[in-house]
Chain A
Amino acid sequence: MEFDTLLLSRLLTFITLAFHIIFATIGVGLPLYICLAELIGIKRKDPYFILLARRWTRGYIILVAVGVVTGTIIGLQLSLLWPSFMQKAGHLVGLPLFMETFAFFFEAIFLGIYIYTWDRFSNPIFHWLLSIPVVIGSSASAFFITTVNAFMNTPRGFTLVDGSFLNVQPLVAMFNPATPTKVAHVLTTAYLTSGFVLASITAYFLLKGKGHVYYKKALHLSMIGCLVFSIFTMLNGDFAGKYLAKYQPEKLAAAEWHFETESRAKLLLGGILDEETLEVKYGIGIPAALSILAYNSPDAEVIGLNDFPRDLWPPLYIHYFFNIMIFSGMFLAFVAVLYFVFYYVKALNSLHPWILRGIFIGGPLAMLAIESGWIMTEVGRQPWILVGLMRTGEAVTTAGQVFEMLILFTSLYFVLGLLVPVILIRLFSKKSAETEIEKRGIIL
């Protein structure tokens, strides 16, 4: 296959976003847990929770730094790689993009204050108050950027006359049909993933035999988040499926290899597709489940791909990414429920090694689900960059050096990707929780 500018630009966009989203997701979710830990610590006068908030914050700063620089990259790179897209879309989504930078601003200011003012207030609640703008700011920036992505899927809020946009209604563009489900799903999955990442790290220490109550408290707090948000994720994931059935049926059909329009449509797990004959081998079909996902009724009719011209079919491999996301969602919810059942049933041990192992793999699995979800959404939008208005091929840059830039950025992410874990491990092992507990003289 020839590596043309289009393919290279898509690849570069993919690599940048896939890298950014790791840090962005944690950037959105982690402040919530820090804020909760500090509040509990203050209310219950429990120094372990304060220490927890402090240690999480230290890790958070490193991750946010990488989130900020990769975010700056993607923000500018969209114009560098997709100039015609930004020229057109700029007229329509300038508002949420602009407001996103305000959200960053707000967050950055308070984060700066927050991390340098531990112990500076006589009443610790003032320090806690500073974490609230950080939580709001990071979630608000996720909200705004997600409305932009929603707009790319269901562009609304303008009239198209001879290729130019008239009667632009910025708020209608922002609150398009895809916005509610997308925003809800993106936010809850960010909280869910951050919860599992934290729980996963703690579970690792517990598995290694560290038995301090500090770890148990940390685990329990993060698991509460995991339970709550895994339930919300399944719920609004279901709504996201209903949104797709209504507004982007071709995406849902491609994700499910659902070719013939029919009622009692089955939900397909796994399988191998013969691209010639469009026959599926080895998959497991759950009867009528797709109809339920799409319309809440087993008898509902779900539109199949054959109703669409072939050149508008999204790539069919998104099926696997959809499967990975849903499997992970089920698994995470299962682990969280199990932990709480074991926690509340007196005879059982919620710190059983098998539960801890489940929690431990939950962290990476949640991240995998985030990546898969995005790949399924973004690749499933193809061939459109703005559905119905502009194809990806029309938007791409005409500059000739995309390949060199691809190498340049890939090397950068490679180096950062290696350094971040090294730095984090060094940061935390230099000052382990136990030594800090001792040093701060925390005795209960």
Chain B
Amino acid sequence: MSVEIIGITVLWIFLYGYLMVASIDFGAGFYSFYAKVTDKKHSIRVVIDRYLSPVWEVTNVFLVFFFVGLIGFFPDTAYYYGTALLVPGSIALVLLAIRGSFYAFANYGVRENSIYLFLYGVSGLFIPASLSIVLTISEGGFIVEEGGHVHLLFSELFSSTYSWIVVLLSIVSVLFISASFLTYYAQRAEDNDAFQLMRKATLIWSGPTILLSFLVFLTLRTHNLEHFLAMVGEFHFFALSLIFFIGAVWLIYKQRYLGTAFIFVALQYGFAFFGYGYTHLPYILYPKLTIYESITGDEMGISLIIAFISGLILLIPSLFMLFRLFIFNADYTKAQGNK
């Protein structure tokens, strides 16, 4: 495999990791806020305290890893995306900052504060929305280069149906992914209230998820025919995704094998996400930037890969330990831990 392909694969895996972990986190924030305003005895908040508090910083690093790696492997992306994304990128950053710090304030500092909880819950829905704009932009047509200057066409972006549908899909997906995870987790923790609530939420959001996914397909056709045709050519990715979706919803509806159900959801998004990414290649930005032109020199590329492999040797056991201790540990899920 060439450096380009290894690089983009590694980055895409990490973006997928972020997508899953962050969706759980963002959605949980929203549900916890919802539980507070509807006075649902905060059963979900306990779940969040148990599972999410230990891993929130790790979630953030997934994102940092992605953009730092992107610039390391493909430095030209800094130029195009950097210039074009000043405004949307900054807004996403401010939201991330509000969310991250208020999370810490609410969880480790002063607990029952509705304003923190509100900011924490709601920013979690805006962040995926603003981050998803980057994917929309990558489809081309929104960045122009005139006289050596790169511009983002705001009005085009705001009036594009495609971009709005992607935004909606990202929000709905966050709610769906995290509800399906929390269903499983609440059941493990033997918290029946939270379990029923989350199960209902999963079922409610499953419809819009799949509907919007189809709409994304359809609108991509008018927006970027080339990519659309490539996706049709690799249709099996998306068919598999659909099958896992159906399986997941069925299991959750039947209240059986909830762990498997969540793995199905992960696979549903996995196939869709890698199908999307695979057919997006070789472009990083239609039609200007491909992985082949923007790749860094061989020397740097190879040292990045070496660093990556040695990093993984360090990380995988540590991540394994983290998950063992907090997520797949029945004692911990049930008991009150000690800060």
Q: A and B bound?
A: yes
Listed in ascending order, the chain A residues whose CB lies under 8 Å from chain B are 58, 61-62, 64-66, 68-73, 75-77, 79-84, 86-92, 94-95, 97-102, 104-106, 108-113, 115-120, 133, 165-171, 397-399, 401-402, 404-405, 408-409, 412, 416, 419, 423-424, 426-427, 430
Judging by beta carbons under 8 Å apart, are B94 and A170 in contact? no
Does chain A have a CB within 8 A of B222? no
Query: Within 8 Å CB of B319, what residues of A?
Result: 109
Listed in ascending order, the chain B residues whose CB lies under 8 Å from chain A are 53-58, 60-61, 63-65, 67-69, 71-73, 75-76, 78-87, 89-91, 93-94, 96-98, 100-101, 103-105, 108-110, 149-152, 296-297, 299-300, 303-304, 307-308, 311, 314-315, 318-319, 321-322, 325-326, 337-339
From A92, A104, A108, A416, B97 is in contact (CB under 8 Å) with: A416
List the 7 closest pairs (A to B, CB-CB), nearest first.
A90-B75, A94-B72, A65-B104, A83-B82, A86-B78, A79-B82, A108-B57
Judging by beta carbons under 8 Å apart, are B299 and A110 in contact? no
Q: How far is the CB of A78 from chain B (nearest CB, A)?
A: 8
Query: Within 8 Å CB of B101, what residues of A?
Result: 65-66, 69, 416, 419
Judging by beta carbons under 8 Å apart, are A109 and B109 in contact? no
Give the residue name and chain of the A residue nearest to B314 (CB).
A106
Query: Within 8 Å CB of A167, what residues of B?
Result: 299
Can you list 5 residue pairs at the A/B interface with Cβ under 8 Å?
A: A62-B109, A94-B71, A97-B72, A113-B325, A117-B325
| CB contact under 8 A between A101 and B61, given known A115-B54, A408-B90 | yes
Query: Within 8 Å CB of B151, what residues of A?
Result: 399
Judging by beta carbons under 8 Å apart, are B61 and A399 in contact? no
Please, how many angstroms separate the alpha-carbon atoms of A366 and B71 in the complex? 34
Please, how many angstroms separate the alpha-carbon atoms of A369 and B78 in the complex? 33
Query: Within 8 Å CB of B108, what residues of A?
Result: 58, 61-62, 65, 427
Count of chain A to chain B residue pairs whose CB atoms are closer than 8 Å in the complex? 227
Judging by beta carbons under 8 Å apart, are B61 and A108 in contact? yes
Judging by beta carbons under 8 Å apart, are B90 and A405 in contact? yes
Give the residue name and chain of the B residue nearest to A427 (CB).
B109
Please, how many angstroms separate the alpha-carbon atoms of A119 and B337 in the complex? 9
Give the residue name and chain of the B residue nearest to A71 (CB).
B64
Please, how many angstroms separate the alpha-carbon atoms of A90 and B319 in the complex? 28
Judging by beta carbons under 8 Å apart, are B86 and A73 in contact? no
Q: How far is the CB of B124 from chain A (nearest CB, A)?
A: 14
Q: How far is the CB of A164 from chain B (nearest CB, A)?
A: 9
From A105, A117, A118, A416, B65 is in contact (CB under 8 Å) with: A105
Give the residue name and chain of the B residue nearest to A430 (CB).
B110
| CB contact under 8 A between A168 and B314, given known A97-B68, A108-B58, A117-B325 | no
Judging by beta carbons under 8 Å apart, are B54 and A113 in contact? yes
From B68, B97, B311, B315, A109 is in contact (CB under 8 Å) with: B315
Judging by beta carbons under 8 Å apart, are A118 and B339 in contact? yes
Query: Within 8 Å CB of B98, what residues of A?
Result: 412
Query: Within 8 Å CB of A87, what residues of B?
Result: 75-76, 78-79, 82
Q: How far is the CB of A82 from chain B (nearest CB, A)?
A: 8
Judging by beta carbons under 8 Å apart, are B57 and A90 in contact? no
Give the residue name and chain of the B residue nearest to A413 (CB).
B97
| CB contact under 8 A between A112 and B96, given known A62-B108, A98-B72, A416-B101 | no
Query: Within 8 Å CB of A106, what residues of B?
Result: 314-315, 318
Judging by beta carbons under 8 Å apart, are B60 and A68 in contact? yes
Judging by beta carbons under 8 Å apart, are B105 and A95 in contact? no
From B61, B89, B297, A91 is in contact (CB under 8 Å) with: B297
Query: Within 8 Å CB of B311, what residues of A?
Result: 99, 102, 105
| CB contact under 8 A between A98 and B109, given known A69-B101, A168-B299 | no
| CB contact under 8 A between A105 and B58, given known A72-B63, A416-B101 | yes
Judging by beta carbons under 8 Å apart, are B86 and A101 in contact? no
Query: Within 8 Å CB of B80, what residues of A?
Result: 83
Q: How far is the CB of A366 from chain B (nearest CB, A)?
A: 24
